[in-house]
Amino acid sequence: MPGQHQTFKIGGRTVGQSAPCLMIAEMGLGHDGSLGAAHAFIDAAAAAGADAVKFQTHIAEAESTAAERFRAPVFVQDAARRDYWKRTAFTEEQWTGLKRRADERGVLFLSSPFSTEAVRLLARVGVPAWKVASGEVTNRPMLDAMAATRLPFLVSSGMSRMEEVEGVVAFLREADLPFILFQCTNRYPCPAEHAGLNMIAEYRGRYGAPVGFSDHSGMAAAGVAAVALGACAVEAHVTFSRHCFGPDVAASLTVEEFAALVKGIRFVERALGSPVDKDAEAGLLGDIRAMFMKGIVAARHLPCGAVIREEDLAFKKPATGIPVSDLPRVIGGRVLRDLAADEALTWRDLANE
């Protein structure tokens, strides 16, 4: 039913609409087969404030034929994309080591599977949730294998049509599994015009479910905006440097940029969670208001007994006496003592006839 599982747990961490934004740093295959780089990425992401790290688990024989084409022609050492999956794959033992390192660094370990065999491998490794790539939202055998574990789902909609989104949401509702539905656009890098920030409200209104944002823009701005619009999870590709190798680098944040994204989102969360009463806030700014606002002062020497005209007055900072807003009450009043030029008027200095 709409509205179910608004807040739930992933590996002991509370996520969802009333929880702090889940910050996911994705390396994908940015390690290019280097186990050391994958371990170093976990350390760097944790230090940058990530709540979770995400990889991709490809088993070449289970997901690809020799006819699969490269998305980007950068893999000069691989004759076919299936060769790339083989070259960059980790063993189950190596995946287990990466999961252990994530646990030690206090971040959730996630990896998107691309076959039922990869689901089984990751289930043995011990992932706390399933990150479903948009190309797999119609892969019912794989979804069934995931659902059998009763783990939460994080579902991308990057290349999905709405009927496919409807289908996977209906599947998860029927299975009574908690999930976050991610707005995403499979463009690398993604232009602002295709980011689809409007879909955050659209998904929330249509499904009553927690909504996330998976960003491929290579900039931090979209992720911050997504949280301001109601996203409860933000995923971004992260790279060590823009000089690194790989097709996702242009769509990635550097580690330092990801740290700034986390800081910006935490700021926005505090701001959204702290409604301001303008009158109360102004009351706390008494000294600043006096410094920057203007008060009424004598424009020239005014002798005791003079009847005040507007041309006798000037309006200057600091506002230590009568504020300019009370000018109508001052005009026509009688001065009760001599006032020097630039001397602030107070109500004690006036008698209204």
Q: Which CATH class is domain 280-351?
A: alpha beta
| 247-to-115, 194, 235 alpha-carbon distances in Å | 22, 19, 17
If you write DSSP's letter for every residue of 298-316 in order, what string do you get?
ESS-B-TTPBP-GGGEEEE
- As a whole number of angstroms, the distance between CA 17 and CA 113 comes to 26
pLDDT confidence of residue 3: 44
| pLDDT, tens digit, 9 for 90 and up, residues 164-223 | 999 999 999 999 999 999 999 988 899 999 999 999 999 999 999 999 999 999 999 999
Instruction: Please tell me the predicted confidence (pLDDT) of residue 75.
Output: 64
pLDDT at 1: 45
Domain boundaries, the chain: 9-272, 280-351
Q: Which amino acid is at 244?
A: C
Considering only CA atoms, which of 178, 181, 220, 186 is closest in space to residue 202?
Answer: 181
Which CATH superfamily is 9-272 part of? Answer: Aldolase class I (3.20.20.70)
Q: Which of these, 278, 268, 264, lies nearest to 236 by C-alpha position? A: 264
What is the model's pTM? 0.88
State pLDDT tens for residues 121-131. Answer: 999 999 999 99
C-alpha pair distances (Å), 239 with each of 25, 153, 309? 9, 25, 69
pLDDT below 50 — which residues of the chain? 1-3
- What was the pLDDT predicted at 2? 43
Taking residue 213's Cβ as centre, other Cβ atoms within 10 Å add up to: 27
